[in-house]
A = this chain, B = another copy of it.
Amino acid sequence: MGRTSDARERLIQSGMDLLQAGGYAQAGVQEICARAGVRKGSFYHFFATKSHLGLAVVEQFHAASIALLDQALAKDLPVPERIERLFLMVATIQETFRDEAGAVKGCPFGNLVLEMSTRDESLRLVLARVLRDTIARLESTLRSGSPAAEPARIREQAEAIFSLLEGAILVAKAENDPAIIRRMALCARQMVAASA
């Protein structure tokens, strides 16, 4: 058993690992604690239920995803190239997973949506908010590149870019090969450039 002081962090890490391995839904609190090296009693000190741990896991992934978006969408490049950079950064992350762990792990939000959204309504609502927040960030970047475009059109383009990225990550996971994400990077850049 590790130090109590970082038990909460280790429980969250254990939830993140299980989720990315496709085993979050069926893991019990006992298994999560065993992986984290934390006593079951301590779990309930930090989280009232497994669902509360799920929310903390989403929060942690969300913070990482905001950092990634900030870096990818930074204003040092024209807008189409920023969108391309986002796809390329995601491809690199998935390549690292595959090279280090043998498997493309996919998008944690996508994984959690498909694994949990018909089973845990409060988690579904949080995930929907995270997805909407990501689409809103894309929308704001796209608007800065096409200030005269119709707002509804820009919102739809942001939804299309996000859907394209999530779908490409899903195919990459099925193929255990992130190459499609790199191909879609160019596609996304051209989509944005064509409408600018």
Contact = CB atoms under 8 A, between A and B. Distances in A.
Count of this chain's copies in the oligomeric assembly: 2
Contacts of A113: 170, 173-174
A131 B171 contact: yes
A153 B114 CA distance: 30
A145 interface: no
Interface in A156-196: 156-157, 159-160, 162-168, 170-171, 173-176, 180, 183-184, 186-187, 191, 194
21 contacts: A20-B118, A21-B118, A22-B114, A22-B118, A23-B119, A25-B26, A110-B114, A114-B114, A124-B176, A127-B174, A128-B176, A131-B171, A156-B187, A157-B187, A159-B184, A159-B187, A163-B166, A163-B167, A165-B167, A170-B170, A191-B191
A128 B174 contact: yes
A177 to B, nearest CB: 9
A10 B116 CA distance: 25
A109 to B, nearest CB: 8
A105 interface: yes
A164 to B, nearest CB: 5
Contacts of A132: 175
A155 to B, nearest CB: 9
Contacts of A173: 113-114, 117-118
A33 interface: no
